[in-house]
Structure 1
Amino acid sequence: MLVSFLIPVRNGEDTIDQALESVLSQGEEVLEVVVVDDGSTDGTASRIEGRAERDGRVRLVRRPPGGIVSALNAGLALCRGQFVARMDADDISLPGRVRRQVEFLRRHREVDLAGCLVEAASLSGKLSPGVLRYVEWSNSLVAHGEIVREIFVESPIVHPTFMARRSFFEEMGGYREVPWAEDYDLILRAACRGKRFGKVPEKLLLWRDHPGRLVRRDPRCKRRALFRAKAHFFRLMKGISRVGVVGAGTSGKKVARALVDEGVEVEFFVDNRESPPGRAVMGRPAFGFPEGIPGDFLRRVRGIHLVLAVGEEKGRDLLVKLLGSEGFVEGRDFTRFL
């Protein structure tokens, strides 16, 4: 018994056939495909039933609408394979995905949760710059150290690429109903427990974006909710009680509020604005350096962990380079939240 695929769906009649075909054609490693229909009102269920009649590996679970987390957990309870793989009803598993991920987990027994690289596509036109940036960033993180180093930037493993031993999901207690995205929550909880991550360094999933995709509609996937998740697990994982926030704009203030709500004291803000004497942001000292943060300032604050909340990519990259030149190590001395 090898791989159980877990696919939750609601009103996916336009894409479910392609999704199922891409999984079933992976070969004999696929034991079953557990499809949880979470209250569809279109023809999704009849399409799945038709496929189940032709291929007994397809198992349909119909239930009233209860949301993604309860659908995932209902499906997990039925998975019988040694490994459980995730996919969504609008995605495509590319040829060789199952074989390559199973080989990877068998070869790297220290890895608890595996992903792969993704190829992004749009079902409704051009891909947005945000999606392209996220995919490029996620695909750049392959090894465990890279994934953990940037785990607070964004969810580093695309959810439909997940594959893990069934025992991993059981040990983690499945998915949780929390105010932020359930896949990011699972990754962060696993990191807190010292679990290890990795990716097959090949594009094995076609990740298809469209306006109706849950990540675009669900408030749990929006920036404010993600900041709450980052702040919550930052305190749990690092045990840091005071920080300096680099970035005093809208995002910097949101990050700071989320950290304060989790009991992390924000000592000061730093940005690139002109700073009159006594300038404050949220009642904290704010230091502005239009020409870049000088080394003597960084040396003075060396004992305080820096949280980077700089959204502009070029400025963020220059800042990371500057910190590195001063001997700051990412993860140990500073953490990116964007």
Structure 2
Amino acid sequence: MLIKAKKFSVLMSIYFRESPVNFRQSLESIVNQTLVPNEIVLIKDGLLTESLEEVLNEYILNFPNLFKIISLPVNKGLGNALSIGVKECSYELVARMDTDDICVLNRFEKQVEFFNNNPNIDLVGTNVEEFNVEPGDLKRFRKMPESGEPLLKYSKFRNPVNHPTVMFRIAKVLEAGNYNGEILLFEDFSLFIRMLQKGASFHNIQENLLHFRTGLGIDVIKRRSGLFYVKNEWKFALLSLKIGNLNFFEWLFYVSTKLPLRLLPSKVILFVYNQFLRH
């Protein structure tokens, strides 16, 4: 089925620790979509390595007028970089993409088509397949609630969308205060609960439209555990209580169950996640 013409931006942020190989795979999956974006807004979050610059310059040369590059002199962190990037996007619809993930061939076509058919929806995410080296090597999937009350209930304790898959109406992101770097590691989750509290409507397409690079999982768990993570999750829980995403008893349950878990050994957390939290 042909979809209505709908221009959209892709928003990405990159910093020096990214792998040039992963970056190239990510860009390849974008420029070869069945529906190619009208622009890619790429935030260079601080100085990049020479190898990353070479990959980027190759794609800028091969796809003239597609890239809008915003160079930040120093690393400002993901939330602040994306906040700047949102304001640089030219179109109503903006798709997020990470620089190490791989889009399924028709991801953007599916999402734009959904927006065309559902003008009341403000953000569309998808399910993902997790992988280590090559898509399909782990046979693991992350399924999100589709919409409505199940999604709202889910959002009280877990991120209701897979962040790298989302496409959103830029006006609704700005209405909720945009991304920010106030709560490190929770830049996306904190934005999404603010959007929901402002009345934004979310929907998750029940298809795996992104290959999500997780490695074997232990590195991800290490980033989501430890005292530094607990301090930021405490801030996030307070925000969730303040804006009404959690009532007091839900907040008490959240901090008494999730925060202690973050202080357990990484292998224990990974076991709990794989056994009980992954769909």
Q: In which range does the TM-score fall when normalised by the shorter chain?
A: 0.7 to 0.9
Alignment counterpart, residue 236 of structure 1, candidates 226, 238, 243: 243
> C-alpha displacement at 1:27, in angstroms?
4.0
Question: Bigger radius of gyration, 1 or 2?
Answer: 1
**Residue 53 of structure 2: aligned partner:** 45
Cα distance in 2, alignment partners of residues 178 and 25 from structure 1: 35
Alignment counterpart, residue 190 of structure 2, candidates 185, 188, 198: 185
**Residue 267 of structure 2: aligned partner:** none
Letter in 2 for 1:179: I
Q: Check conservation: 1:116, 1:203, Cα contact below 8 A.
A: yes
Q: Check conservation: 1:2, 1:29, Cα contact below 8 A.
A: no
Question: Secondary structure at 1:95's aligned position in 2?
Answer: coil
Q: TM-score, normalised by structure 2?
A: 0.77
Q: Measured at CA, do residues 156 and 241 of structure 1 come closer, stay the same or move farther in structure 2, by a change above 3 Å? A: closer
> C-alpha displacement at 1:234, in angstroms?
3.3
Letter in 2 for 1:58: F
Gaps of 5+ in 2: 1-5, 261-270
Letter in 2 for 1:103: E
Question: Secondary structure at 1:175's aligned position in 2?
Answer: coil
2:71 aligned with 1:62, yes or no? Answer: yes
Q: Check conservation: 1:179, 1:220, Cα contact below 8 A.
A: no
**Residue 147 of structure 2: aligned partner:** 143
**Residue 7 of structure 1: aligned partner:** 12
Please give the residue correspondences for 1:73-84 in structure 2 after superposition, counting only pairs within 5 Å.
Answer: 73-84=83-94
Question: Secondary structure at 2:110's aligned position in 1?
Answer: helix
Cα distance in 2, alignment partners of residues 173 and 252 from structure 1: 29
Cα distance in 1, alignment partners of residues 240 and 78 from structure 2: 22
Letter in 2 for 1:71: A
Letter in 2 for 1:141: P
Q: Check conservation: 1:119, 1:205, Cα contact below 8 A.
A: yes
Please give the residue correspondences for 1:91-130 in structure 2 after superposition, counting only pairs within 5 Å.
Answer: 91-123=101-133
Question: Secondary structure at 1:173's aligned position in 2?
Answer: coil
User: What are the superposed Cα offsets for residues 250-296 of structure 1, whole Å, 9 maximum, x if unpaired?
Assistant: 944958xxxxxxxxxxxxxxxxxxxxxxxxxxxxxxxxxxxxxxxxx
Please give the residue correspondences for 1:321-332 in structure 2 after superposition, counting only pairs within 5 Å.
Answer: none
Q: TM-score, normalised by structure 1?
A: 0.64
Please give the residue correspondences for 1:112-261 in structure 2 after superposition, counting only pairs within 5 Å.
Answer: 112-123=122-133, 135-136=141-142, 139-180=143-184, 181-210=186-215, 216-217=222-223, 222-237=229-244, 240-241=247-248, 251-252=256-257, 254=259
Alignment counterpart, residue 16 of structure 1, candidates 23, 27, 32: 23
Higher strand share: 1
User: What are the superposed Cα offsets for residues 176-230 of structure 1, whole Å, 9 maximum, x if unpaired?
Assistant: 2222410000111012112111011111001011489788547799355335423
Over 6 Å off, 4+ runs: 211-215, 218-221
Q: Check conservation: 1:152, 1:230, Cα contact below 8 A.
A: no
Q: Measured at CA, do residues 53 and 108 of structure 1 come closer, stay the same or move farther in structure 2, by a change above 3 Å? A: same
Cα distance in 1, alignment partners of residues 117 and 239 from structure 2: 33
Cα distance in 2, alignment partners of residues 80 and 30 from structure 1: 11
Higher helix share: 2
Identity of aligned residues (%): 23
Cα distance in 2, alignment partners of residues 222 and 214 from structure 1: 12
Q: Measured at CA, do residues 76 and 238 of structure 1 come closer, stay the same or move farther in structure 2, by a change above 3 Å? A: closer
Q: Measured at CA, do residues 46 and 239 of structure 1 come closer, stay the same or move farther in structure 2, by a change above 3 Å? A: closer
Cα distance in 2, alignment partners of residues 15 and 312 from structure 1: 28
User: What are the superposed Cα offsets for residues 87-140 of structure 1, whole Å, 9 maximum, x if unpaired?
Assistant: 10000111110010011122222211110110110139x999xx95xx54xx14
Q: Measured at CA, do residues 49 and 252 of structure 1 come closer, stay the same or move farther in structure 2, by a change above 3 Å? A: same
Gaps of 5+ in 1: 256-310, 318-338
Question: Secondary structure at 2:119's aligned position in 1?
Answer: coil
Q: Check conservation: 1:115, 1:162, Cα contact below 8 A.
A: yes
Question: Secondary structure at 1:174's aligned position in 2?
Answer: coil
